[in-house]
Amino acid sequence: MSKQDHNKQITNADEFREVRITSKDRLLEVIAREADDKEKAAGSPDTDPETGAYLRTVAGYLRQFFKLISDAPLFSRLEDWWSYGICISSAGISLFIMYTPYVWLHAPEDKSVGFYDTIDELNARYHLIRMECRYLTIEEYARIHDCSPSTVNIWIRRGKIRSATKFGQKWMIPDMAEPTKRGYQSATYEWDTWLADVPKDYEFLAAPGKLNIAKVSRVKEMFEVRLGEDLDEPKLILEMTGPDAAKLETYLIANPQVRYAGDYKYIFS
């Protein structure tokens, strides 16, 4: 596509097939490319050991997913405006099919970048195949990452491992969880159903919605919590101290009905 083509609607089905995954062969190419890219990044001298281990884990799951898709009875070519999509998260890898009749090319802000994003208006999406990762106990996770179980518990309480969850009274961590990062990172959580047994102080969380926790830079150890379907126009904004924000986030991480939205990567082309 030339730069003259940016910020325009795609109305031709052939153009659509250029920017979307519309065949099984193309789908397999994309999965193989993602696995190769992860393995290459893992072997880079600029990649720290912990990140390298994570990238190799994801690459291994992508290889398994490639085999799963190869054996699956999928359409060799989709009808116009239908395409495949892949979601990679700490919970695993999934394949879905979607119908997007309205697609726009969108030029990047940096005009020197030689690629284009696309913006879709999604009419329908159906999940087809899901491959879940393996969950580790705190002790298993600690051995892999060469630290103590108590350190892992601290990481969870401080929001460093947001994809952890509780099964009964036991913390479990997906082996596809991204490595912890230095410093506090803002986080978004979402849930689609009414939450059961919400603690007394958290009644505002009961209804389905989204929640973002961010550190308020102007005040040390103060956090802003935004809640609502649209976080740009939230129905509720709260300010919390560090301990209160950590307590809230620990509850959200532990609740199996709530998912951390920060580690979802979608691949459409």
Say what the pLDDT of residue 165 is.
87
* Alpha-carbon gap, residue 227 to 233, rounded angstroms: 9
Q: Band the pLDDT of 118: cuts 50, 70, 90.
A: low
pLDDT at 114 > cutoff 80:
no
Per-residue tokens: 210: 């989204």
* Alpha-carbon gap, residue 94 to 74, rounded angstroms: 14
* Alpha-carbon gap, residue 62 to 86, rounded angstroms: 11
Percent of the residues in the chain that have a pLDDT greater than 70, as a whole number: 89
Type and span of the H or E element at 27: helix 24-42
* Alpha-carbon gap, residue 26 to 67, rounded angstroms: 14
Closest to 38 measured CA to CA, from 28, 49, 21, 52: 52
Q: Band the pLDDT of 145: cuts 50, 70, 90.
A: confident
Q: Band the pLDDT of 121: cuts 50, 70, 90.
A: low
* Alpha-carbon gap, residue 238 to 226, rounded angstroms: 7
Domains delineated in the chain: 3-132 (no CATH), 134-182 (1.10.1660.20), 184-261 (2.30.30)
Closest to 57 measured CA to CA, from 110, 158, 162, 134: 134
